[in-house]
Amino acid sequence: MKLVTGIINPLKLDEVFASLFIINVQNICVIEVKGYGQQKGLTEHYRGALYEVNFIPKVKFEFTVSDDELPVVIEAIKTSASTGHIGDGKIFVYDI
């Protein structure tokens, strides 16, 4: 058994869950998190003022799968969460 943990853009959550539902992955835990990677935050203008957002909102999900299902699950997450930009997310796999 493997524990799969993913951190992705919140806008891609529905697409990732749809692709996991197709391959029959169930019992998924979702947590809203904040952080940054290579982006190192964002700088935005709001009503003429400059704001620096150090932590970007992300979504973390966890679930378990059998060893033989893992390659299909990883590929489904990668294809559905990818936007082609920095900050698409990370996938971690742990032995249970």
Give the helix/strand (H/E) hosting 8.
strand 2-8
Condensed to tens digits (0 to 9), the pLDDT of residues 46-95 reads: 788 877 777 888 999 999 999 999 999 999 999 999 888 877 889 999 99
Handedness of CA 78, 83, 86, 87 (dihedral sign): negative
- Per DSSP, 69 falls in state G
Residue 47 falls in which region: left (phi positive, over 0), alpha (psi -120 to 50) or beta:
left
Q: Which domains does the chain possess?
A: 2-91 (3.30.70.120)
End-to-end Cα, the chain, rounded Å:
6
Per the listing, tokens 């032995």 go with: 95
pTM (predicted TM-score)? 0.82
